[in-house]
Amino acid sequence: MNGVRPCGSDPERSARTTAGVGPHGSEPVRKAGVVAGLAVGGCLTWNVSNVGAVADPLAKHYGVSLAAVGLLTTALFVTHLAVQLPAGRGADRFGSQSIALVAIAAAVAGNAILLAGGGFEAALAGRAVVGIGSGAAFVSGLDLVRAGGGGPALQGLYGGATMTGGGLALMVVPPLTDTTSWRAPYWTGALLAVAAAIPTLAASGLPRVGHAGEWVLRDRALLPIGALQAATFGLAVVAGNWAVPLLERQGASSTAAGLSGGLILFVGIVTRPAGGVLAGRVSGRRLVGVSLVGTAAGALVLALGGSFTLSTLGSLLHGLMAGLPFAVIFSAAQRTRPDAPGAAIALVNACAVLTILVGTPLAGLAFELPSDGRVAFAGIAALAVAALVPLRKARV
C-alpha cells in the first residue's frame, strides 16, 4: 500500500463518512441518497446484460457472428472500465450526485445512438457511450448509498439492486424482442436511465469527502479484494451474458432460457442484501470462501449440459453464491482506504470489469466449438476455485 495520505485531509471525517455514521445530513437527505443510489444502480445495470440476452436476434440484424455480438458487450465494458477510477475520484471530489447525473446522461445518449440504427460500427460506438454511463453509475450509486449513511446491510441492498437490473434484462428483453423488434434492449435502457434521474435530482445536500485523494492503482491491500470481486461479480456477468444462448442450444425456448439464465444475476437481489446482514455476524473470509465454492459448483452444473431443470438449478446456485460476498468485499475496500472511499470502490470493481471485458468475448468464441459453449462454463468454474488463493491475503 502506498501509505501516503493527501495533505489537509480530515481522517476523522473520512472515517465517519466511510463507516456510515456521523453528519450525513437530515433524515430526508439520507433517505434520498439511499433511494437515488438504489435507482441508479438498478436502472443503469440493465445495460450490462440487455444485449447478451438477445445475441442471436442482434447477430441476424447486424449480419455478424455470435462472437461479434459479444463485442457489443466488450465495447461497453472498455469504457465502463476506463471510467471507474475517474468516477470514483470525481465522487470523492464533487459528490456522488453529480457523477450519477453524468452517468445517466451518457446512458441516454448512447442508447439514442443505438436506436438511430446504422451499421455494426455505429452500434459499437453507441455501446461505448453507454459504458461510460454504466461504469460511472455503479461507482456513484454505491457512493450515494454510503453518503446517505448506508452501512453493510444497505450496501448489500444496493448490490441486490444492481443484480436485479441485469437479471431482469435477461428475463424481459428476449420475449420483448420477439414481440417488438431488435431495438428492445436499447429503448428500455434509455427509458430506465431517464427514470433514475428523478430520485437522483432529489438527492442534494449529501456530504462528500471534498478531495480526490491519491491514485490507488498500486495499493497492494486493495488488489486481493479486487480479485474476489472479479471471481464473483465478474464471472457471474460473463455467465449471465451467455447462459441464455447456452440453454437455447440445448433446446429451451427463448422465454424459458431467459427466465432460467436470468437467475444468475436476478437472485443476487436476495443474497447480496443477505450477505450485508451476515457481515459482522460471521467471518468475512468464510463467507467469501463459501461463495467461491458455490459459484464454481453452479457453473460446473451448467457446463455438464444436463436437463433443463438441472441447468436451471445450476443457474440458481451460481447466482445465489456469486451475490453473497458483495457487502463484505466493498465494506473491506472502503475500510482499507477511508481517505478515498470512492476510488477504493472503483479499483475493486475495475478488477471485475476487466474480467468481464476479457471473459465475455472468450466465452462467445467457445460457442463456435463442438461443445456449444459448455467449455466456457467449465472455465468459469475453474477460475472461481482459483480465487481461493488471493482470499488468503485479502483483508476481509
Instruction: Report the distance separating Cα 343 and Cα 334, nearest Å.
Output: 9
Residue 12 belongs to some domain of the structure:
no
For residue 205, being part of any structural domain is answered with yes
Identify the CA nearest to 382 among candidates 297, 320, 319. 297
Q: Where are the alpha helices (DSSP H) in 52-151?
A: 55-62, 66-82, 84-94, 96-115, 120-147
pLDDT of residue 3: 41
Q: Could you tell me if residue 306 is inside a domain?
A: yes
Q: What is the residue range of 147's domain? A: 27-391
Looking at every residue in the chain, the average pLDDT score rounds to 87
Q: Would you call 378 exposed, middle or buried from its count of C-beta atoms within 10 A (0-12, 13-18, 19+)?
A: middle
Q: Are 42 and 161 in contact (CB under 8 A)?
A: yes
Q: Note whether residue 14 is domain-resident.
A: no
Q: Residue 337: its pLDDT value, please?
A: 85
Return the closest-CA partner of residue 250 out of 306, 331, 210: 306
Taking the C-alpha atoms of residue 319 and residue 263, their distance in angstroms, rounded to an integer, is: 6
Q: Are 141 and 37 in contact (CB under 8 A)?
A: yes
Q: How does pLDDT run across 235-287, given as a tens digit for each residue?
A: 998 998 889 889 988 888 888 998 898 888 788 888 999 999 998 788 889 99
Say if 6 falls within a structural domain. Answer: no
pLDDT at 209: 67
pLDDT attached to residue 38 = 95
> Residue 172 corresponds to which cell in the numbers above?
424481459
How high is the pLDDT of residue 99?
95
Question: In this structure, is residue 18 part of a structural domain?
Answer: no
Residue 3 within any structural domain of the chain? no
Distance of alpha carbon 222 from the chain centroid: 18
At 211 the pLDDT is: 61
Q: CATH number, domain at 182?
A: 1.20.1250.20
Segments of the chain with pLDDT less than 70: 1-25, 209-215
Question: Is 11 a domain residue?
Answer: no
Rg (CA), the chain: 19
* Model pTM above 0.95: no
Taking the C-alpha atoms of residue 354 and residue 136, their distance in angstroms, rounded to an integer, is 15
Query: Domain count of the chain?
Result: 1
d(CA 192, CA 187): 9
In the DSSP assignment, the letter for residue 248 is: H
